[in-house]
Amino acid sequence: METGIALPKSVVICNKSTVVLDGKAVFTESSILSFDGSMYMKVVIPNVMHTEAEDVSLRFMSQRAFGLLMAATSRESADTLRLELDSGRVKLTVNLDCVRINCNTSKGPEVLYAGQKLNDNEWHSVRVVRRGKHFKLTVDDDMAEGQMAGDHTRLEFNNVETGILTEKRFVSSAPSSFIGHLQDKSPHL
């Protein structure tokens, strides 16, 4: 049986089999969330999380070619791991902000694209795996890989957002709001 990660104050990041809330399994199926462009879900994590490895899996269905699928964001830095629909493709943006910790900065956010014509109102599977500087985006059967520039490998975040990006302080242009359906498969941030 797979389990989720129970965070302080009943905040939950779960996987596809079991949701754990305050140490207890709550249900065993992934919910499907529907978004109409004005709706969003934001999980605020009271204590800042620092990770050097992430594994995020989700499914989506949309007729729109643009929209935010998921973002891990920070209130204090430009750090982000963001998935969005961009011209009918899935765009992964990873930005590890080095300014506050005096490390060698990269040339800016790292970006990968995968899939095409994904705004077909069919279900599509997305998976992101990052281990240190190496990251991989898979959409259905299309895969792209990248390597982070710079020395910094730690992602700092305290929000997980879907539908609409609300944490815009460090973003030059925010993605469009999402219209469609999302299903969480197993985020491990």
pTM of the full structure: 0.79
pLDDT tens, residue by residue, 143-165: 999 998 877 789 999 999 999 99
Domain ranges of the chain: 1-29, 31-184
Fold (CATH) for 31-184: Jelly Rolls (2.60.120)
DSSP assigned state of 22: T
pLDDT in tens, 86-112: 999 999 999 886 555 555 545 568 899
CA atoms within 13 A on the CB side of 131: 1
User: 30 vs 14, 46, 59, 122, 183, CA distance in Å?
Assistant: 9, 24, 10, 18, 7
Contact by Cβ (8 Å): 108, 99: no
* 20 touches 3 (CB < 8 A): yes
